Structure 1
Amino acid sequence: MNFAYRLLAASAAASALLMPCAFAQTPLNYTTSWIGNSFGYGDGKWMQLDVEAIAVAPDGTVYTNAPWDESGSEIGVYARGDKLAVGGNTHGWGAAGGDAIAVNSTYVYAAMSIGNQNNTLRGSDYSPAGSTWFGVTRRLRSNVAKGAPFAGGIGNSANVTKNSFLRVTVAPSAADAAVRGLAATDTELYVADTYDNQIVVYDAQTMRQLRSWAVPSPGRIAIDSDSTLWVVQGMQSPTGPTVAHYDPNGAALPGAPALPAGTMPADVAIAPSGQLAIADDGAQQLILLYNKSASGQTQLASTLGTRDGIFHTVKGVPGDWRFNGITGIGFDQAGNLYVAQNGQGLRPFGSSLVGQGAVLEAYRGLTRASMWRLYGLTFVDAAAFDPASTANVYTGSKLFTLDYRQSAGKEWSYAAFTLDRFDYPDDPAFHMARGVRGSPMVRRFNGGLFLYTLDEYAHYLNVYRFSPSTEGDVAIPAGLFAQNPLPGNWPQGQPTYGEWMWRDANGDGRVNAAEITSNPSTGSTVGDGYWWVDAPGNVWLATPKSGIREMPLQGLDAHGNPQYTYASARMFPMPAPFTRIARIVYDAASDTMYVTGFTAAIPWDSTHWKEAGPVLARYDHWSAGTLTPTYTVSLPWNTTGNPQVTTVGIAVAGNYVFIAELYTQRIDVYDARNGQYVGAMTPGASVGNTSGWVDIYMGISAAQRDTGEYVVLVEDDARAKILMYRWTPGQ
């Protein structure tokens, strides 16, 4: 996916001008809400999707930074549980945010990079061809969106951050030379030039270099009250990072803390008590507090947090002091503690991962009581209902519970995190392009709960089982269907060509070569297909050109994993009138197949490779081989307008079919019984009358509540949330 800035602000009225009149004249009586973000954007605010670093001002204002936020809030400002500002100009046109941030009384210093977008951007504002600039943007604390220029500053000549970028290093475009640590006083700025294995010191006012010294792959930096430095170093060491002690000129000092086995120091900070605080993003998920003696020695005194964090006792349940992927810590002058997490930990070197959802929280001084907590939990995530209860909603890695009695945006509660990187490092999600599970399908059969997930473009289908008595809410890797080999070296034993699948035959949640079954006879004919899992657990694959295949469930193995075989598969030929299938939904209870795709009248073309197509068809008695449609529907489709009108997703619930449009923020509703158009839904005022594109293959789901109300969930990448529409027919 090209994560360019894709915020859509076109009004529903403007979009409607591109559609047949019928689509514009049938509004529905519905409400708009959302899941997964502390802010809905109705007030112009959203919690960013990732936080890689924080800096805390004495008054408790928290400044954040991350390499990417879909709507440009790489730099954010938060206080008292509210969002105050967005930094801006670290997003797009070659610019990106970064992995470190620091503040002094006047300025904010944030790591960022400036590239040239694959050599397409030229001029003094951009790095030369084949290279990227990595450095620091200096902003005013009084207005973090405005640059604080200096002699020798470069970049962004067309905006308010002109000449406020300090170039620390120039690296080849493929290299990760990101600045991984920053610390500042009113007179000096300390920069961890991780790529060049040094700490560089600049004048905080003029930004001229003062001195530097060698440090092996340095990371976070904390300045102590005596002006000495505590530095996380060895970030790329095969034995793991450590914490070292230096004087301001780079001389090594005694007192380097002895870290408990397994500690992965992610950040360092100085508590108002004078203690050295180290964030451990290892399996223990703790904050370690060290006392410092007059002789300069350190000794572990206590810890903050629950051992094992979110995976303690009942695994996956969030709560106070149950940390999950600590990326930053800091204290204010009152002794309050601020902790940033993203479910993943610090961004791995060389990756473009954006975490598993941002959490920013604060705890009060000596009492350690929770003060506030903010969430930005979803990105490139769809959501789906538990068949047993519309009060339970799963995304790829989260479980939310809903209380429909609450007001818009207040219905949801964060109930569980279902990924476990420590016990199940072989979870296929960690080896996919974005490191997330993406689009979920939740099924209950054979007495068990199962989660099936698609990557963003449906190349792979992951299978998970649950064992509440031993694993809590963690989804245990159980299987994987692959249309073609995964790029890279994972997993060992996958074929070099063709289709394959894995089942966790020994029940350890890890992929072993002996557990992989290949189906090379299908070759590339299944490539770019679309997976669907029906209620009884049968797996369907809509191939673009070869028809639809069913792989019936063959029961569960001794460990509770669903079993499938290529030998038991049944192939259905391409149904009329389609020439290319894009999406399917099969309702096993009624033996009804819904298909969207392309026809001879409007053929598929590569510029619309992710679309669901211009035609919807329903087929009754599908298992009997009835390939003549009960009805066909022409869906909204206009590829010559601006914006274009195309479709991207389908969901079926009760008596209705819901179609998500790609560019135009509209959900079209059809009567499933006869194909008649019913009306449309667009984002309401509670979410600022806007959303991002539905940008993945399975970005929409729906369910009917016992009350008769329909609830529709839609991906909204733009501001880290899931849109939720609530509609009761006839009201």
Structure 2
Amino acid sequence: MKLFTRLGGVVLFLLGLLPLGAFAQSQLNYTTSWIGNSFGFGDGKWVQQDIQAISVGADGTVYTNAPWDESGSEIAAYRAGDKIAVAGSTHGWGAAGGDAVAVNHTYLYAAMSIGSENNRLVGADYPPAGQTWFGITRRTLGNIAVGAPFTGGIGNSANATKNSFLLLDTVTTGTDAGIRGLAATESELYVADTYANRIVVFDAVSMQRLRSWSANSPGRIAVDTDSTLWVIGGVSSGTPVISHYAANGTPLSGTLTLPAGAVPADITVTPSGQILVADIGPSQQILVFTKDANGKPQAAAPLGTRNGIFHVIKGVPGNGRFNGVTGIGVDPAGNLYVAQNGEGPRPIGSASVGQGAVLESYVSSSRTLNWRLYGLTFLDSAAFDPANPGSVYTGSKRFTLDYSQPPGREWSYAAFTLNRFDYPGDPTFHQPRGVRGEPMVRRINGQPFLYTLDPGAHYLNVYRFDSAHGEMAIPSGLLAQNPLPGTWPSGQPTYGEWLWRDGNGNGTVDASEISSNPSTGSTVGNGFWWVDTPGNVWLATPTSGIREMPLQGLDSAGNPIYTYASSKMFAMPQPFTRIARMVYIAETDTMYISGFTSAIPWDSTHWKEAGPVLARYDNWSSGTPSQQYTVSLPWNTQSTPQTTTVGVAVAGNYIFVAELYTAKVDVYDARTGQAVGYMTPGANVGNTSGWVDVYLGISAVQRGNGEYVVLLEDDARAKILMYRWTP
């Protein structure tokens, strides 16, 4: 007989007796730390998750811009390795940042957009229904959070940037009319109106329009020492070129001759008149042009290691090993500043936020490092190498941990594992958000393999490693619950499950390597993948039970082999009506399942949650598993914020459950199911974190000294949250 009662809005199940975990827990004694960001937020600072453009002030302050930062730092200021300001008013209420920024001695000018949030925002501060404004926000350098209004300025009447927005283009919502280039002198502001194929010049003080001229999809602009302009054009075509103009728009000779394969992303001019061009092609260098006696640019030795981070040892970061430069700038002393996001500037129409931000400064003469800042993770959780708890993988990074260091200083950036040049067909680039996150690391025959999920756990990607490719994760396989939208890859079915294994070892999804599941049935979609220690793949289907795909060994290319024919199906266990998460411990044949029951059924408003109930089953693979206990997890959908669960991890003798909205990890004894306590973010991370916003957003390990280390996704401020707890 099933009984239930309601305490404080939380339904508690009784299967013969009151389930465990139903009572209030106490806070544990633990240490809060983090991975992947130069700041933890305890000091009110974080490095933004993406930098699309920079401009350098006279005092060496670096001003940044990007369309989106999860916590509103789209436009920010950094100086001498520190973050000194956030502009604000570019996040929410229809506002977003942009792809260009410029400064003179008085003002900051930054590209941004204003929308109506699906027509929910109306009035003079917002565009008409179905439309979006693209333009420029002007701020004072003395306080970039405050607008510098001007006649004709509009927008933001309810905040400190009132009437400081210059409208350039009004377009249908969904059209990308982002400004891709800005440059400023004390008297004039040059604007690359990429969408309208023109360069527009405004008075830098009055913001009144002075003149304009046609240019093919212009992007970044640099003002030379002789007041002429260098402009990267052809941005929307994918084949950018560099043009030279007089300040009045007259085309000039002396254009830059780029090396074969170069893809210019940004351009700047040094105080001595050198022209620097960021190349995001295979060279990953900063091209240098000096001028001869006649003022004609001549190519000189480039800056940085050829191939950047992809030079041997591939993936290892270091000085001058650039990775997707998005912005370059030079201060009056000649110091160089370089922004990177592991990708390069956002393609037109893309919603990409890059693969993690890096901002560096190099000394003018020696080009040795001045300082470096990191904001490396977004939609990205982390997992431990089972052979070494001091090695942690995210979707596209590897970090090493020195546990003897103080909180926030344990981590070092060890590798970037995503290679867009060697493996442009990596499934990562074709899956939602284009971010390779949610990792599991397994050792098969002693060799490491990386398994990753997309944010919604629809696709399980498989990667192998070999010494010849350094730290690169080589695409090895893919298991899909349903077809990917669009035309990629060729050969995928129109319906149902399918898998790919890289039989020829080229890291590319070839149609001949795709297999479809002949009996897909109700197992399609919205399941949850798990890979156990030996490398067997499990799929917790929502309503059809759990399927195991045992590892069939490795093929000649070193890829794990999985087949539908060898699959085993396990029926939906009591008391569940829908499975949301699972953790299988192969060493003890123990299964942990969380999900929904008939008493609290699943509903679509809680589509990403891990459910209100967790159960442990012993002897799972025997065919007659024994249920050891059920636990009522924190669940109250009537509270503010709601109390729901989103992730489950098991390590040693403990279960760690991440709540979705409440920045809390609940801890249970894995042997008994009894509640042990909880952890919340400490003061050194500002007593807060973002939502754990993906299906596999938590992991845990027990170190040899008995300490437990728990890692959680923290999108809010571009880091991985880390708890260290010794029972």
Residue 675 of structure 2 is aligned to residue 677 of structure 1: yes
Further displaced range: 290-299 or 456-465: 290-299
SS at match of 1:629: strand
Which of 638, 641, 650 is the matching residue for 2:639?
641
SS at match of 1:236: helix
- Is residue 131–residue 170 contact of structure 1 (8 Å, CA) maintained in 2? yes
Matches of 1:320 and 1:350, distance apart in 2: 32
SS at match of 1:434: helix
Letter in 2 for 1:155: G
- Is residue 500–residue 520 contact of structure 1 (8 Å, CA) maintained in 2? no
Matches of 2:518 and 2:495, distance apart in 1: 7
**CA 617–18 in structure 1, closer or farther in 2 if over 3 Å, else same:** closer
Which of 566, 584, 588 is the matching residue for 1:586?
584
Residue 559 of structure 2 is aligned to residue 566 of structure 1: no
Deviations 1:538-575 (A, max 9, x none): 00000000000000011101000001100000000100
Matches of 1:557 and 1:714, distance apart in 2: 34
SS at match of 1:521: coil
Further displaced range: 226-235 or 112-121: 112-121
- Structure 2 residue runs of 5 or longer lacking an equivalent are 1-7, 13-20
Alignment of 1:466-481 (within 5 A): 466-468=465-467, 470-481=468-479
Shift of 1:626: 2.6
Aligned to 1:173: 173
Alignment of 1:652-671 (within 5 A): 652-671=650-669
Residue 266 of structure 2 is aligned to residue 267 of structure 1: yes
Deviations 1:391-445 (A, max 9, x none): 0000000000000000000000000000000110011111112111110000001
Matches of 1:166 and 1:664, distance apart in 2: 39
Matches of 1:131 and 1:467, distance apart in 2: 50
Shift of 1:264: 0.5
Shift of 1:630: 1.1
Aligned to 2:714: 716
Shift of 1:295: 3.2
Aligned to 1:27: 27
Shift of 1:628: 4.3
Deviations 1:186-210 (A, max 9, x none): 1110000001110000011111111
Matches of 2:380 and 2:237, distance apart in 1: 33
Deviations 1:308-352 (A, max 9, x none): 000111000000000000000000011100000000111011010
Aligned to 1:299: 298
Aligned to 1:4: none
Aligned to 1:3: none
Aligned to 1:452: 451
- Is residue 225–residue 271 contact of structure 2 (8 Å, CA) maintained in 1? no
When normalised by structure 1's length, the TM-score is 0.96
Residue 73 of structure 2 is aligned to residue 73 of structure 1: yes
Shift of 1:236: 2.0
- Identical amino acids, percent of aligned pairs: 71
- Is residue 19–residue 636 contact of structure 1 (8 Å, CA) maintained in 2? no
Letter in 1 for 2:693: D
Aligned to 1:702: 700
Matches of 2:301 and 2:717, distance apart in 1: 38
Alignment of 1:8-47 (within 5 A): 24-47=24-47
Letter in 2 for 1:580: R
Shift of 1:22: 7.3
SS at match of 2:123: coil
Alignment of 1:49-448 (within 5 A): 49-238=49-238, 240-448=239-447
Further displaced range: 294-303 or 537-546: 294-303
- Structure 1 residue runs of 5 or longer lacking an equivalent are 1-15
Matches of 2:166 and 2:493, distance apart in 1: 47
- Is residue 668–residue 680 contact of structure 1 (8 Å, CA) maintained in 2? yes
SS at match of 1:429: helix
Further displaced range: 164-173 or 260-269: 164-173
Which of 622, 636, 656 is the matching residue for 2:620?
622
Shift of 1:116: 1.2
Give the length in aligned residue pairs. 712
Aligned to 1:509: 507
Matches of 1:19 and 1:320, distance apart in 2: 56
SS at match of 1:381: coil
Matches of 1:18 and 1:193, distance apart in 2: 55
Shift of 1:491: 0.9
Matches of 1:68 and 1:453, distance apart in 2: 24
- Is residue 96–residue 114 contact of structure 1 (8 Å, CA) maintained in 2? yes
Deviations 1:632-660 (A, max 9, x none): 00001111011111100000000000000
- Is residue 270–residue 276 contact of structure 1 (8 Å, CA) maintained in 2? yes
SS at match of 2:162: coil
- Is residue 476–residue 509 contact of structure 1 (8 Å, CA) maintained in 2? yes
SS at match of 1:430: helix
Aligned to 1:632: 630
Which of 470, 489, 492 is the matching residue for 1:491?
489
Shift of 1:447: 3.1
Letter in 1 for 2:456: Y
Matches of 2:582 and 2:93, distance apart in 1: 37
Shift of 1:448: 1.6
Shift of 1:608: 0.8
**CA 19–49 in structure 1, closer or farther in 2 if over 3 Å, else same:** farther
